[in-house]
Amino acid sequence: MSKLSLDQDVLRKIRTRTRRRFAFTTIACLFYSGYLLGYVGLKDLFAQTISPGSYVTVSILFFCFLIVFFIALEFLYLRISIAEGKEK
């Protein structure tokens, strides 16, 4: 089957989904690479505590944030996919 023989509506839907897949992946990879900043560019920031007198560092907070953020991102992606499935 060639590209031209695919229904244009189907092709448009596939492109929309593919763009969404890559958009979500890019967001995930960007935030993930932020973890590396704790070892290079933002070393001082990541070593700081979140407030005076606290022992919780930005790096520990960022670790927790990443886990919660990625789960939320997945949840959002799934909601969109499921909603799209229902529309179809």
Partner 1 sequence: MGLNVQLLFLGIVLLFSNSTQAAGTITGDIERQPLNWSAISMFLVFVFATLIISYWASKLTRTSGEFYTAGGQLTGLQNGAAIAGDFMSAASFLGITGLMFVGGFDGLIFGIGAFVGWPVMLFLLAERVRNLGRYNFADVVSLRLEKTSTRIISVFGGIVVVIMALIGQMVGAGKLIELLFGLPYETAVIVVSVLVIAYVSFGGMLATTWVQIVKAILLMFGATVMALLIFINVGFDLNILLEGASSNHPLGEKILRPGILFNDPIQIATIMVSMLFGTLGLPHIIMRLFTVPTAQEAGKSAFYASTFIGYFFLLMILIGFGTSYFLIGNTEYFGVDAKLIGGNNMAAIHLSNALGGDLLAGFMSAVAFATILAVVAGLTVAASAAVSHDLYAQVVCKGKPDPKEELKITRLTTVVVGLIAVSLGILFQHQNIAFITAMPMVVAASVNFPVLFMSLYWEGMTTRGAIMGAMVGLALSLGLTIIGPQVWVATLGFEKALFPYNYPTLFTMPLAFLAIWFFSITDQSERAAADRDNYYSLLKKAEFGN
8 near partner 1, judged by CB under 8 A: no
The least distance separating partner 1 from the CB of residue 48, rounded to whole angstroms, comes to 8
80 near partner 1, judged by CB under 8 A: no
Instruction: Dig out the tokens for 38 from the structure.
Output: 């704790």
Query: Could you give the string, one character per residue 19-58, with x where binding to partner 1 holds by CB under 8 A and - elsewhere?
Result: --xx-xx--xx--xx-xx-xxx--x--xx-x----xxxx-
Start-to-end Cα distance in the chain = 23
SS3 category, 2: coil
SS3 category, 76: helix
Packing angle, helices 58-87 and 8-37, rounded to 10? 170
Instruction: Dig out the tokens for 56 from the structure.
Output: 């919780």
Which residues here bind partner 1, judged by CB under 8 A? Answer: 1-3, 5-6, 10, 13-14, 17-18, 21-22, 24-25, 28-29, 32-33, 35-36, 38-40, 43, 46-47, 49, 54-57, 59-60, 63-64, 66-68, 70-71, 73-75, 77-78, 81-82, 85
